[in-house]
Amino acid sequence: MPAEVRAVMTAALKGEPPPGILQPAVIPAPERTKPAPTSAAASYFAPASKRDPTVTPREYGKIREEEERARAAEKQQRLEMLKRQRETSGENRIKLQGIVGSNVIINGEMYSVGNTVQGVRILKIGSNYIIGEHKGIRFKKVMR
């Protein structure tokens, strides 16, 4: 058997192409990537503003004006409440500095039960506190 025939048969037994025959070059196919799974909640909509598109611009302006009026009224109410607290609080008007027996030292002056200091009437003197009344509101001031 000629050498050429033997080489072709050997190559065939090994599963190789016969010698001397050119085979086309095998180019691997590019890898295909699977698209990322999308969820039902994902949205690509990105509005430029947070305005509700079902509300007309005129209605939107009215809503915004009402909100601004409500904020201004709330702010005014808070300021008035703070002002009232500062004005009516007799506890803030006096500074309890000491207690000597049945007398008390308030703002550097000596007072006893029944006296009035800056609109605050002294009702009771305890061991380290007084009970006072200002505009009908009773309070307890503790010495610090």
pLDDT digits (tens, 9 = 90+) for 31-69: 776 666 655 666 777 777 777 788 888 998 899 999 999
pLDDT at 31: 76
Q: Would you say residue 26 has pLDDT above 70? A: no
pLDDT at 99: 92
pLDDT at 124: 94
Domain ranges of the chain: 54-88, 90-142
Percent of the chain with pLDDT over 70: 81
Contact 93, 118 (CB under 8 A): yes
Contact 94, 106 (CB under 8 A): yes
Q: Would you say residue 132 has pLDDT above 80? A: yes
The Cα–Cα gap between 36 and 26 comes to 30
Residue pLDDT, tens place only, 71-91? 999 999 999 888 877 665 778
Residue pLDDT, tens place only, 77-127? 999 888 877 665 778 888 899 999 899 999 999 999 999 998 899 999 999
How does the average pLDDT of the chain come out, rounded?
A: 83
- Under the banding of pLDDT at 50, 70 and 90, the label for residue 25 is low
Contact 135, 129 (CB under 8 A): no
1: exposed, middle or buried (C-beta count within 10 Å: 0-12, 13-18, 19+)? exposed
- Under the banding of pLDDT at 50, 70 and 90, the label for residue 30 is confident
Task: Indicate the pTM of the whole model.
Answer: 0.41
